[in-house]
């Protein structure tokens, strides 16, 4: 019962609010909020105070209200929105392409042992080859334009999805497959009703890993050779010494990452209600 | 021979059955020239030391393994591979975790091409029969071991097989649950009038459930022993004759 502990810890403030809000539900909510986000809030507050008071160099760590202002102007003027749109498009298209290729290919490879065996060493090699190290190669091949950027992200996102799917299919409990077989299930039925649903949770692990990688590679690619995008904006703002804007772009990236993960978690909850532990 | 019930369907005949496996280049004979007759509606327990081939025999009967030579006839007709007239209950419940109890129990019928609504109607009947009526919508992870095994039993019954093949179905349950489930199995067997072949390593369970106990010999090719358990049902574990059967079976294994 964690919230009770926090309740006692936060007795002083909750007593003060008690006159205004005395419903136990609200107190529970506040207690939870403090337990979950208290430290994060303290971090931001510390930053704000330290920067305003001059304990931190405000040229490097501008007060958060300046960062917030830069973010607001960027969004209202549409400049940052453009960057977000470009970045999301790059990462989104490649992520979807990696999903579209990785999952079917993985489902196929995981089922046929000979194929999986033959392809595994080369996949392992490709996976271990840093996509960023290959970026120059992709630039040589595809030029500095959109194609090389998209391809480097694609390269990096494909492997987590592909390997997670192959692993998921291979790890399906052979006893469940035999059970289905004992009722006379055909190969396609077994695939559709046993292998596919059993692979969903491991595939989601790959998807979440891939989404993180996609954003990481997106920033790197945009920093190296782009004139638009959130990653470009981080670099560009730093060149022009617009430090609040730089932080605004960094926070925006963090937010995109959190949002992508959140979407995937919600999707996973919808699809795998059965695998969830009860709360 | 005092086979309790003889119904027309679900008669199993095994003729000259041999099965061996290759392990690390060595051939391991598991069953050799085995003959066996199971009457329709009979309950047969198969016991034997580990390595005697009792599980292999059951798997061949189920059609999950192909015999090397000889064969299995059901109601007089030779069978190859799996068939709808047989259903297997495994030691582990083997439930699909992404399906509810209802989904799992109707799974067998659905896989056989029966429409979902029809399969679910039948499934509901058997879920009630195994006493899980209130748990239709539960997920497998919410069930205890005994409950999960009941779901596995209901799933096998739902396809309405003539022959129920049980591979140590209660082996993984705790002692108390096991006793309850043995009584449940007796009741189900009586109500459903199916032929039952049960592999077990629990001699008392064999005596409690079976019309006859088949003891598979350790030496391959030797004649298996068959013991008639001519006790009335419901059986009483503490009754003198029950205890005497237990002693007799223990003696077969050199135990006291």
Domain A71-275 has CATH 1.10.3720.10: yes
- What DSSP string describes B160-178? --SEEEEESTTTTS-HHHH
**Cβ contacts of B159 on chain A, cutoff 8 Å:** 183
Could you tell me the residue ranges of all domains in chain A? 2-61, 71-275
Exposure b/e, B191-210, CB count within 10 A at least 16 = b: ebebbbbbbbebbbbbbbbb
Q: What is the pLDDT along chain A (279 residues), one digit of tens a residue?
A: 334 433 444 444 444 544 555 677 888 888 888 888 889 999 999 999 999 988 888 888 999 999 999 999 988 988 888 999 999 999 999 999 999 999 999 999 998 888 888 888 888 888 888 888 888 898 899 988 888 888 999 999 999 999 999 999 999 999 999 999 999 999 999 999 999 999 999 999 999 999 999 998 899 888 887 788 898 989 988 999 999 999 999 999 999 999 999 999 999 888 887 776 543
Question: Cβ separation of A184 and B88 shorter than 8 Å?
Answer: no
Angle CA B245–B246–B248, to nearest 5:
60
The verdict on a CB contact (< 8 Å) between A182 and B82 is: yes
Contact A194 B82 (CB under 8 A): no
Chain B nearest-CA residue for A176: B94
Give, in order, the Cα–Cα distances in Å from B36 to each of B61, B120, B215, B243. Answer: 11, 36, 11, 26
Q: Strands, DSSP E only, in B56-144? A: 69-74, 77-79, 86-89
Query: What does the pLDDT look like over B27-39, one tens digit per residue?
Result: 888 899 999 999 9
- Note whether B90 contacts A: Cβ–Cβ < 8 A: yes
Which of A19-28, B156-165, B185-194 is least confident?
A19-28
Helix H or strand E segment including A150: helix A146-170
Assess contact for B5 and B41: CB atoms under 8 A.
yes
- The per-residue pLDDT for B111 is 94
**pLDDT score for A144:** 82
Give me the mean pLDDT over the B39-68 stretch: 93
Answer whether B233 touches A (CB < 8 Å).
no
A-B contacts at Cβ under 8 angstroms? 52
Q: Are A87 and A229 in contact (CB under 8 A)?
A: yes
The predicted pLDDT at position B11 comes to 92
Residue of B1 and A271 predicted with greater confidence: A271
Residues A117 and A181: their CA atoms lie apart, in Å, by 25
The C-alpha angle A47, A50, A52, rounded to 5 degrees, equals 100
The mean of the pLDDT values for chain B is 91
- Domain layout of chain B by residue ranges: 1-85+195-256
Among B46-55, B145-154, B217-226, B233-242, name the one with the lowest average pLDDT.
B217-226
Give the Cα separation of A232 and A216 in Å (integer): 13
Q: What fold is seen in the domain B1-85+195-256?
A: Rossmann fold (3.40.50)
Q: Is A181 an interface residue toward B (CB < 8 Å)?
A: yes
**Å between B197 CA and nearest CA of chain A:** 16
């Amino acid at each position: 019962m964690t919230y009770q502990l926090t309740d006692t810890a936060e007795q002083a403030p909750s007593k003060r609010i008690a006159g205004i809000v005395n419903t136990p539900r609200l107190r529970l909510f506040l207690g939870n909020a403090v337990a979950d986000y208290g430290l994060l809030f303290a971090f931001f507050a510390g930053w704000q105070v330290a920067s305003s008071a001059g304990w931190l160099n405000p040229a490097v760590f501008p007060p958060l209200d300046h960062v917030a202002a830069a973010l607001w102007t960027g969004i209202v003027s549409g400049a940052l929105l453009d960057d977000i749109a470009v970045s999301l498009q790059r990462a989104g298209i490649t992520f979807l392409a990696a999903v579209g290729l990785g999952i079917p290919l993985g489902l196929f490879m995981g089922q046929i042992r000979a194929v999986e065996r033959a392809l595994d060493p080369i996949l392992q090699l490709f996976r271990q080859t840093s996509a960023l190290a290959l970026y120059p190669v992709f630039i040589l091949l595809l030029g500095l334009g959109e194609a090389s950027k998209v391809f480097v992200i694609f390269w990096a996102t494909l492997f987590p999805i592909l390997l997670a799917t192959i692993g998921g299919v291979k790890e399906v409990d052979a006893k469940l497959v035999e059970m289905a077989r004992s009722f006379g299930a055909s190969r396609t039925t077994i695939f559709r009703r046993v292998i596919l649903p059993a692979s969903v949770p491991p595939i989601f692990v790959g998807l979440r890993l891939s989404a993180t990688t996609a954003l990481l590679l997106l920033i790197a690619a945009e920093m190296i050779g782009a004139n638009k995008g959130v990653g470009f904006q981080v670099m560009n703002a730093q060149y022009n010494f617009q430090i609040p804007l730089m932080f605004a772009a960094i926070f925006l990236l963090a937010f995109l990452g959190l949002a992508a993960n959140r979407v995937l978690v919600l999707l996973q909850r919808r699809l795998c209600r059965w695998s969830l532990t009860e709360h | 021979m005092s086979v309790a019930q003889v119904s027309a369907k679900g008669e199993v005949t095994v003729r000259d059955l041999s099965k061996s496996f290759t392990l690390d280049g060595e051939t391991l004979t598991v069953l050799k020239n085995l003959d066996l007759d199971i009457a329709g509606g009979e309950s047969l327990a198969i016991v034997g030391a580990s390595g005697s081939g009792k599980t292999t025999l059951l798997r061949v009967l189920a059609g999950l393994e192909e015999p090397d030579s000889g064969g299995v006839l059901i109601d007089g007709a030779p069978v190859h591979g799996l068939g709808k007239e047989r259903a297997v209950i495994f030691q582990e419940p083997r439930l699909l975790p992404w399906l509810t109890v209802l989904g799992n129990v109707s799974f067998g019928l659905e896989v056989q091409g029966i429409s979902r609504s029809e399969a679910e109607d039948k499934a509901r009947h058997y879920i009630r029969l195994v006493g899980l009526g209130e748990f239709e919508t539960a997920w497998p992870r919410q069930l205890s071991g005994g409950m999960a095994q009941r779901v596995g039993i209901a799933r096998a019954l739902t396809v309405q097989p003539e022959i129920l093949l049980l591979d140590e179905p209660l082996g993984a349950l705790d002692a108390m649950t096991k006793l309850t489930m043995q009584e449940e199995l007796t009741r189900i067997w009586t109500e459903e009038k199916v032929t039952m072949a049960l592999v077990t390593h629990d001699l008392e369970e064999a005596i409690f459930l079976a019309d006859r106990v088949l003891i598979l010999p350790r030496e391959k090719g030797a004649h298996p022993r068959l013991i008639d358990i001519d006790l009335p049902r419901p059986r009483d574990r503490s009754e003198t004759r029950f205890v005497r059967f237990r002693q007799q079976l223990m003696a077969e294994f050199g135990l006291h």
